[in-house]
Amino acid sequence: MQATATHTGAKPKAALTPNPGLTPMMLNHAAWVTPDAAATTDFYTRIMGMELASTVLDDSVPSTGDAIPYFHIFFRMGDGSTLAFFEAPGVPGPSKSSHPAYDIFNHIALQAKDRAEVLRWHEWLTSQGVEVVGPTDHKGLILSIYFHDPAGIRLEITTPLDKEWNRHTEKGYADLKLWEDCKQKARAEGRDVPKALLELIHDVRKRYEAKESA
């Protein structure tokens, strides 16, 4: 089996060079491993209403040359983007996450038209025996429900409540600075970093609520 490339933690100088105007056009596909291609196909076509878009059968990974026989399958969504899966029976199953948060944070969100459609998804998924969490209102930004596919991958159906929810660039950079400054200050003072961040979040929330009520 051919060795795969490794990367060091050092950042190349090019990482500090401003982007020359390149932006991805759209999500082409996001991919995961599944232990059962047939069950995955049934879920994403029959339950999720996607179309089986393409498949690949190969005996090695093209990008690395690793000799792993696999079946690669793609499912197309409304905008043409796809979700993809690999079944590779010779590969051991994934190791258990070191913390439950990884099974919550690692997920993919699929957009619905509006609130009513999110609720329709909830009703449909539940009728098919899928365990659903939500609807959850994310501070007036988006409304979401959560569930898992047969491989245990966490999925989200979501719709924007704030039409500008993904246009808050300036605030995003300001929040990132608060976050990074808080971590650095806590480490320099020998404080518990998660506790310091929790205090920061509570402080930001209080200021936001005070501004909203003013």
Query: What confidence tens digit (pLDDT) does each residue in 111-136 have?
Result: 999 999 999 999 999 999 999 999 99
Residue 167 has pLDDT above 60, yes or no: yes
Number of domains observed in the structure of the chain: 3
pLDDT band at 101 (very low <50, low <70, confident <90, very high): confident
Residue 96 has pLDDT above 50, yes or no: yes
Q: Token pair for residue 147?
A: 């569930």
By mean pLDDT, which of 2-11, 19-28, 36-45, 57-66 is the weakest?
2-11
Residue 125's domain spans which residues? 100-160
Residue 13 lies in a domain: no
Bridging pattern class, strands 133-138 and 70-76: unpaired
The mean pLDDT value for 72-92 works out to: 93
Residue 99 has pLDDT above 60, yes or no: yes
The mean pLDDT value for 39-52 works out to: 96
| Same domain for 207 and 184 | yes
Find the CATH number of the domain harbouring 124. 3.10.180.10
Q: Which of 66, 87, 108 is the last residue of a domain?
A: 87
pLDDT band at 3 (very low <50, low <70, confident <90, very high): very low
Element spanning 124, H or E? helix 115-127
- For residues 129-165, one letter each, b for 16 or more C-beta atoms within 10 angstroms of the residue's C-beta and e for the rest, the string is ebebebbeeeeeebbbbbbbbbbebbbbbbbbeeeee
| Same domain for 173 and 154 | no
| Same domain for 106 and 155 | yes
Percent of the chain whose predicted confidence (pLDDT) is above 90: 58
| Same domain for 122 and 146 | yes
